[in-house]
Amino acid sequence: MYPLVDAAAAAALVLEHTPVLGIEQRPLDSCAGRVLAEDVVAPSALPAFRSSAVDGFALRSTDAGQTLRVIGESAAGRPYEGSVGPGTAARILTGGALPEGADCVVMVEDVSLDGDLVTVPSHLRAGTNYHNIGDDVRAGDPVLTAGTQLGAAEIGIAAAIGRALLPVRRRPRVALMSTGDELVEVGKAPGRGQITDSNRWALYAALLEAGAEVHSLGIAPDEPGELRRLVEEWLDDADVLVTSGGVSVGTHDLVKPLLESLGTVHVGRVKLKPGKPFTFATLPAGKLAFGLPGFPVSSLVTFEVFVRPALRKLQGFARLQRPTLPVRLAYDARATADRTEYQRVTLRREGAELVADSTGSQSSSRLMSLAGAHALVRIAPGGDGVKAGTVVEAMILALP
Ligand code: AMP
Ligand code: MG
């Protein structure tokens, strides 16, 4: 019998045994969602030259109020190579380089034009209507930090400073398997006593969302030899094994003995509801194995609490946990067993506050308690629970 490990201690133990995966250089078109592995520094300034913010005329501010001769044009990508002296101006277009000698740009709306003569306003300030060298980024500025997830803006910055490749962490390769003689593939009519394998699809989605590459091993029967054969087949190709079912103490629960024979089981039972039979093991070559409980909500809640942070650590994320927000409970919450309980709630706005309503029966078989939930609320065991009206910190899955 495995000792009942405190939920927070089990989560810490998982992360302690989780390595960070290696670095690969990826072209920008495959960087979205990946985690940057090293800080990125700008090799040179942005903008690299003084560039006009408007369409108008580039001139010397000391020529305010004068009628000037237009001597050329500076368009984006086609700079005016001459210099703007006293009494002259150059037509300039947005993005065009400010010609030498000019110190401001006047908008085309603010001048009067007569052939190649332009009369400019009587009040002009040097430095207006153009972007100076280094306004956005100075040479040597750190622009992206290791551990951040690359989104549109980050990839845009990388391109702007000339980086065609970025160092990102490898995605974790996860082998996913359901176990149980009662399971049939989705779409097949279950016979007497059979149920459809839903965990594998729920976990598949959760794994993808967490950044993993998933290889599905299908359904393993409750037969030790076949289970071992399936698992050993993937061993070389994956970083992580995730199974559901087969971890409680019934006679058909074969996952713990298998993991015990392949590596080291660190957690075999957790003071957590739902998810008491959650099992965590390390396997040779730094691989991790998560034996998730069979009940659908238990498998997804233990995924959230233990597997997702580990997948984030593997990918080098700076932040491993879901963000939390203070929410006001609209119901009396109690941990019904002597275990930390993760209750599923929906959130709604009330003025400046978020208010949390229970999703109804919190039975670990009732997937509808998690469908559409916005957050998980952690309720400590013992005492009188948490009274309605109390503000607690909730783990945010999605905002309303
Ligand atoms: P187990 O942990 O194997 O004893 O499974 C507990 C219960 O979870 C089973 O009796 C099933 O009702 C349910 N279950 C197990 N595996 C799955 C699965 N892949 N999809 C949906 N429900 C499952
Ligand atoms: Mg089973």
Q: pLDDT per residue over 322-364, tens digit each?
A: 999 999 999 999 998 899 999 999 999 999 999 999 999 999 9
Q: For residue 47, is the peptide bond before it cis, meaning its omega torsion is within 30 degrees of 0?
A: yes
Which amino acids bring their CB within 6 angstroms of ligand 1?
A: 178, 180, 183, 195, 197-200, 244-248, 250, 293-296
Residue 379 CA to ligand 1 centre (angstroms): 25
Higher per-residue pLDDT: 85 or 1: 85
pLDDT at residue 5 tops 80: yes
- The full length of the chain comes to 400
Are the C-beta atoms of residues 28 and 171 closer than 8 Å to each other?
A: no
- The candidate with the shortest Cα–Cα distance to 336, out of 318, 361, 312, is 361
Per-residue pLDDT tens over the stretch 45-64 = 999 999 999 999 999 999 99
User: What is the arithmetic mean of pLDDT over 267-284?
Assistant: 97
pLDDT at residue 249, as a whole number: 81
pLDDT at residue 255 tops 80: yes
Token pair 């005492």: residue: 383
Report d(CA 278, CA 295) in Å as an integer: 11
Q: Look up residue 6 and give its two tokens.
A: 């405190």
Helices and strands, counts by H and E, the chain: 7, 27
Residue 209 CA to ligand 1 centre (angstroms): 23
φ, ψ for residue 175 (rounded to 5)?
-95, 130
The whole model's pTM is what? 0.94
Are the C-beta atoms of residues 342 and 308 closer than 8 Å to each other?
A: no
Per-residue pLDDT tens over the stretch 148-203 = 999 999 999 999 999 999 999 999 999 999 999 999 999 999 999 999 999 999 99
Nearest Cα residue to atom 23 of ligand 1:
294
User: What is the arithmetic mean of pLDDT over 92-105?
Assistant: 98
Reduced to 3 states (helix: H, G, I; strand: E, B; else coil), residue 25 is: strand
pLDDT at residue 99, as a whole number: 98
Confidence tier at 251 by pLDDT (50, 70, 90): low
pLDDT at residue 267, as a whole number: 97
pLDDT at residue 129, as a whole number: 98
Report d(CA 369, CA 375) in Å as an integer: 11
Q: From the CA atom positions of the chain, what is the Rg in Å?
A: 31
pLDDT at residue 234 tops 90: no
Report d(CA 151, CA 280) in Å as an integer: 32
Are the C-beta atoms of residues 207 and 241 closer than 8 Å to each other?
A: no
Following DSSP, what letter does each residue of 66-117 receive, concatenated? -EEEEEEEEBTTB---SB--TTEEEEE-TTPBPPBT--EEEEGGG-EEETTE
- Count CB atoms within 10 A of the CB of residue 295: 22
Residue 136 CA to ligand 1 centre (angstroms): 55
Residue type, 61: S
**In testing the pocket of ligand 1, which one of 198, 199, 278 has its CB within 8 Å of the most ligand atoms?**
199
Strand pairing partners for 306? Answer: none
Nearest Cα residue to atom 16 of ligand 1:
294
* Average per-residue pLDDT for the chain: 97
**In testing the pocket of ligand 1, which one of 178, 184, 195, 201 has its CB within 8 Å of the most ligand atoms?**
195
pLDDT at residue 300, as a whole number: 98
Report d(CA 45, CA 138) in Å as an integer: 4
User: What is the arithmetic mean of pLDDT over 68-83?
Assistant: 98
Residue 214 CA to ligand 1 centre (angstroms): 20
Distances, alpha carbon 42 to alpha carbons 28, 45, 151, in Å: 16, 7, 18
Q: For residue 274, is the peptide bond before it cis, meaning its omega torsion is within 30 degrees of 0?
A: yes
Are the C-beta atoms of residues 309 and 320 closer than 8 Å to each other?
A: yes
φ, ψ for residue 246 (rounded to 5)?
70, 25
Confidence tier at 382 by pLDDT (50, 70, 90): confident
Are the C-beta atoms of residues 370 and 304 closer than 8 Å to each other?
A: no
Ligand of minimum distance to the alpha carbon of 199: 1
pLDDT at residue 337, as a whole number: 86
Q: Look up residue 351 and give its two tokens.
A: 């003025």
Residue 367 CA to ligand 1 centre (angstroms): 12
Residue 217 CA to ligand 2 centre (angstroms): 16
Token pair 């650590």: residue: 313
pLDDT at residue 250, as a whole number: 76
